[in-house]
Amino acid sequence: MGTAARILPAATADRNIRLLKDKAEIYQHTRNLANGLRTESLPEVVYRPARREDFLEMSTLIRSAFDGLLKERGFWDLSPFASSRLPPLSPSGPFPWFELGLKEDSEGFWVAEVGHVMAGFALSWVRGSLWYLAHLFVRPDHQGRDIGRNLMDRAMRHGKDSDIKNRALSTLAYNPVSISLYSRYGIYPREPLSWMEGPTESVKAINEASKLDVQRADNFQTVRKNLTEIDTSCIGYPREKNHEFLFSLPADKCYIYSLHDRPVGYAYVAQNGRVGPAATVSQDSFIPVIESAVGLAAREEKAFSVSLNATGSNEELMKLAFRLGMKIRDNFLLMSSKPFSNISRYLLYPTGAML
């Protein structure tokens, strides 16, 4: 049986035609340069605030950029972030992370366009005195035109009226071009991050004997104060908007850990078995919290594996991950303008898009 053709609105069809034409011109320009041929200059790069209709193209750009680097550096067959291992993108979304950025951090949400083609974009967020770069991607065929630097300049102005004391981000550890760019802005490599993953079968029977009580938090407002106190104690910055966002995701669950009725930590567990972010008020409670959270993740019905983003300097965390049968599947790098004093009792958000 044939598939009925979908008739596009005239405005959408016209825009698609322009996009195809622009991409063809860019492709021919790139080929001419590679062959040493003279060619007309490309259209200028235009920088503008992000819009909701950009979200699908941004998501596609992220995947294509990741895929290109994974293949180039030999991680394509190993990394869980290869597009072949991710669910397909839906044109209609939803894109809750970008929606949050547009609502709360529009000053740090920028798009670079060449003609009618998205050449790159950046998204930063500010929480208290912490500035964090969630995304900065440039299409490979537009690199070398200072687009990354210009997007970074605009993102850096986000929070100019705040008392920013630290700037941070997470990037792939084998991406020297990006690492060099960020370092020129005073954001330096601080902490290796190992994406660890293992089958649920190997962690379902872990020993969770602990003096800590664990309770799932269903309402953000009831634990808002506890989360803020734990974050401030651990990494020095409150992240209430990020927590509120995570509570809005049906696939994520937040667990609060207490000792003698006093909250000492929290951990998020996703339906797909990913653990993080997580934080504790003391080093003694960190490993018990992570071990418990990994056990909870392994029991999720939709989880075939359990994964977390381990800080390389935390020897006990690395030992725990290997003891549970996890393997390193990818490598990231936490960069910041100043060190995080208690990063050893913090587990980053799995994708690195936020702390």
> Using CA atoms, how far apart are residues 121 and 117, in angstroms rounded to an integer?
11
Task: Find out whether 354 and 132 touch, Cβ atoms under 8 Å.
Answer: yes
Q: Over 60: is that where the pLDDT of 9 sits?
A: no
Position 204 in a domain: yes
pLDDT at 167: 97
Selection from 129, 148, 126, 153 nearest residue 137 by Cα? 148
pLDDT at 146: 95
| pLDDT bracket for residue 3 (50, 70, 90) | very low
Same domain, 255 and 207: yes
Same domain, 209 and 131: no
Bond prior to 277 in cis (omega within 30° of 0) = yes
Average pLDDT value for the chain: 88
What is the per-residue DSSP string for 85-124? Answer: GSPPPPTT---HHHHHHHHH-GGGEEEEEETTEEEEEEEE
pLDDT digits (tens, 9 = 90+) for 14-31: 444 444 445 555 555 555
Same domain, 220 and 298: yes
pLDDT digits (tens, 9 = 90+) for 337-353: 999 989 999 999 877 78
pLDDT at 153: 98
Same domain, 96 and 216: no
Query: Is the whole model's pTM more than 0.95, yes or no?
Result: no
CATH value at residue 258: 3.40.630.30
pLDDT at 116: 86
Position 99 in a domain: yes
pLDDT digits (tens, 9 = 90+) for 198-247: 999 877 656 565 789 999 999 999 999 999 999 999 998 999 999 999 99
| Cβ atoms within 10 Å of 316's Cβ, excluding its own | 12
Quote the number of domains for the chain. Answer: 2
Position 290 in a domain: yes
- Amino acid at site 200: T
Position 185 in a domain: no
Instruction: Say which residues have a Cβ less than 8 Å from residue 68's Cβ, sequence separation at least 6.
Output: 140
Q: Is residue 19 classed exposed, middle or buried when 0-12, 13-18 and 19+ CB atoms within 10 A define those classes?
A: middle
Position 93 in a domain: yes
Selection from 160, 104, 110 nearest residue 131 by Cα? 160
Q: Among positive and negative, which fits the CA dihedral 272, 276, 280, 285?
A: positive
Position 86 in a domain: yes
pLDDT digits (tens, 9 = 90+) for 112-149: 999 889 999 999 999 989 999 999 999 988 988 999 99
Residue span of the structural domain in which 315 resides: 196-347
Position 36 in a domain: no
Same domain, 128 and 229: no
Position 191 in a domain: no
SS3 77: coil
